[in-house]
Structure 1
Amino acid sequence: MPVAAPSDGDGWKPDPQHPRRRPPWIKVRAPGGDEYEKVQGLMRSKSLHTVCEEAQCPNIAECWGRGTATFLMMGDTCTRSCGFCDIKTGRPSPLDWAEPNRVAEAVRAMNLRHVVITSVNRDERADGGAPIFAMVIKRIRQVQPGCSIEVLIPDFKGSEAALKIVMDAQPEILNHNVETVPRLFKKVQPQD
């Protein structure tokens, strides 16, 4: 009669005869390849930031390897220090008003049919940087007609005027992450 292997506490018992393999979708590939290097070179040449790099996303090889990226606007430094985010925090550089043009040029160079654009929080500005979102939406429409635009916006500290600036530019998709439930806000976003 076979002896049962000890449980690991979750009810799963290791079986040396039949080791469990990770499914292919859970394995993280090392960054590299022609398409990856093309995206990386484009981001460097246009001085652009991506969530992929700044937030140290483990899926960077998959996305960049397919020739796509999530653009991070308004610099690489956030004015908040949320416990769940890897983007650096501190006093950001002044807004770069030419950045929307460079993002639009990158979208055209990548021949994207759908683009996702997000940003750091810019709490030092009353408008939260909303005009930058409006500018990039309009510029992408000029240089890459037919490309759907998804913006993942910050909370703009509740400013309805800032939200209106973005909405007036008419992105196809407007998103906002609710990072946690209200009772935990103070724990993960102590500055709010």
Structure 2
Amino acid sequence: MADPKGWEPDPQHPRRRPPWIKVKAPSGAEYEKVHELMRSKTLHTVCEEAQCPNIGECWGRGTATFLMMGDTCTRSCGFCDIKTGRPSPLDWAEPNRIADSVRAMGLRHVVITSVNRDERADGGAPIFAMVIKRIRQLQPGCSIEVLIPDFKGNEVALKIVMDAQPEILNHNVETVPRLF
């Protein structure tokens, strides 16, 4: 990213955007390595599913935000690009593939989020606990940040995730229910 300091609009040569806003096309060896890893492990990332314009920058540095429980959300938030519909059944092998990827990437910190799975009474909380435990086994010392759904207010589901002891627990629904 270009340095925004010192940049001023030039009336002689108008630009559509300042240089630090321009996004480079995803490329490079590290980007390709992350892309191939995600495909080989059949994993989803927020970077791809939400069509993040910064994917090249993050993947180019060897980082990604893992998206668990599929690529289809049960909610239809107007501000989100993740597709909505009836999701596939949970893939209980996914925590192993994510942990393998965390180890392969040599991550010291990992961020994991998910789609909402409102069709499940537990909201998918057990799979969050599984991935946290598996990462601890395969990549000791890696700090784990999870961005969890609201679990529709299910405190038992929240306790399942809390008991797995992620270093950071965040909430990934940033709006009021009437906008779901």
Q: TM-score, normalised by structure 1?
A: 0.85
Equivalent of 1:55, from 50, 54, 79?
50
Q: What residue in structure 2 maps to residue 169 of structure 1?
A: 164
Partners of 2:85 and 2:16 in 1: how far apart?
42
Aligned partners of 2:113 and 2:172 also within 8 Å: no
Structure 1 outlier segments of 4+, above 6 Å: none
Instruction: Look up the equivalent residue of 1:51 and give its one-letter code.
Output: V
Equivalent of 1:159, from 154, 158, 175?
154
RMSD over aligned CA atoms reads 1.6
Partners of 2:137 and 2:20 in 1: how far apart?
37
Instruction: Name which of structure 1's ranges 18-27 and 104-113 shifts more when overlaid on structure 2.
Output: 18-27
Partners of 1:19 and 1:88 in 2: how far apart?
37
Partners of 2:78 and 2:98 in 1: how far apart?
28
Equivalent of 1:140, from 135, 146, 150?
135
Offset at 1:177?
A: 3.2
Secondary structure of the 2:113 match is strand
* Structure 2 residue ranges without an equivalent (≥5): 1-8
Offset at 1:32?
A: 1.1
Q: What residue in structure 2 maps to residue 11 of structure 1?
A: none
Secondary structure of the 2:145 match is strand
Instruction: Look up the equivalent residue of 2:164 and give its one-letter code.
Output: A
Offset at 1:27?
A: 1.6
Partners of 2:89 and 2:25 in 1: how far apart?
34
Note if 1:81 corresponds to 2:70. Answer: no
Aligned partners of 2:133 and 2:164 also within 8 Å: yes
Instruction: Look up the equivalent residue of 1:127 and give its one-letter code.
Output: D
Note if 1:149 corresponds to 2:150. Answer: no
Show CA shifts across 1:44-102 (max 9, x none): 00000000000101110000000000000000011111101100111111000000000
Q: What residue in structure 2 maps to residue 111 of structure 1?
A: 106
Offset at 1:120?
A: 0.3
Aligned partners of 2:67 and 2:114 also within 8 Å: yes
Partners of 2:147 and 2:91 in 1: how far apart?
19
Aligned partners of 2:65 and 2:111 also within 8 Å: yes
Partners of 2:140 and 2:89 in 1: how far apart?
30
Equivalent of 1:129, from 121, 124, 128?
124
Q: Which has the larger radius of gyration?
A: 1
Equivalent of 2:61, from 63, 66, 75?
66
Q: Percent of aligned pairs with the same residue?
A: 89
Partners of 1:17 and 1:26 in 2: how far apart?
20
State the number of aligned residues.
172
